[in-house]
Amino acid sequence: MSEQIFEPAPEVLDGDTADVYLLRTRQVMEAEGLNPIAVMEVFSAHAGVLCGMREAIALLRQTIPQDAEVRALEEGSSIAENEVVLRIKAPYLSYAIYETALLGFLASETGWATAATECVEAAEGIPIISFGARHLHPLVASRMDYAAIIGGCTTGSTPMGARLAGKEPSGTMPHAMILCFGDTVEAALAFDRQVERDVPRVVLVDTFLDEPTEALRVADALGDTLSAVRLDTAKEMGGVTPVLVRETRDRLDRAGFDGVQVFVSGGVNPDRIRLFRESGAPVDAFGVGSYIAAARPNDFTGDLKEVNGRPVAKRGRLPGVAENPRLQRVI
Q: What pLDDT is stored for residue 3 in this prediction?
A: 59
Q: Which CATH code fits 122-293?
A: 3.20.20.70
User: What does pTM read for this prediction?
Assistant: 0.95
Please list, residue by residue across 93-114, b when 16 or more beta carbons sit within 10 angstroms of its beta carbon and e when fewer do.
ebbbbbbbbbbbbbbbbbbbbb
Task: Please state the length of the chain.
Answer: 331
| Of the candidates 292, 299, 328, 327, the residue with the CA atom closest to the CA atom of residue 146 | 292
Q: What pLDDT is stored for residue 5 in this prediction?
A: 83
| Of the candidates 139, 93, 152, 102, the residue with the CA atom closest to the CA atom of residue 292 | 152
Kindly list the distances between the CA atom of residue 96 and the CA atoms of 68, 123, 127, 187, 322, in Å, as whole numbers in the listed order: 14, 42, 41, 54, 20
Local structure of residue 213 (DSSP, 8 states): H
For residue 100, the SS3 value is helix
* DSSP symbols for 227-286: EEEEE---GGGT---HHHHHHHHHHHHHTT-TT-EEEEESS--HHHHHHHHHTT---SEE
Side-chain half-sphere CA neighbours of 208 within 13 A: 18
Q: What pLDDT is stored for residue 252 in this prediction?
A: 98
pLDDT per 10-residue tile (average), the chain, 331 residues: 78 97 98 98 97 97 96 98 98 98 98 98 98 96 98 98 96 97 98 97 96 98 97 93 97 97 97 97 98 97 97 94 96 95
Helix (H) or strand (E) holding 193: helix 184-194
Per domain, the residue ranges of the chain are: 3-110+296-329, 122-293
Q: What pLDDT is stored for residue 316 in this prediction?
A: 92
For residue 114, the SS3 value is helix
Q: Which CATH code fits 3-110+296-329?
A: 3.20.140.10
Q: What pLDDT is stored for residue 12 in this prediction?
A: 96
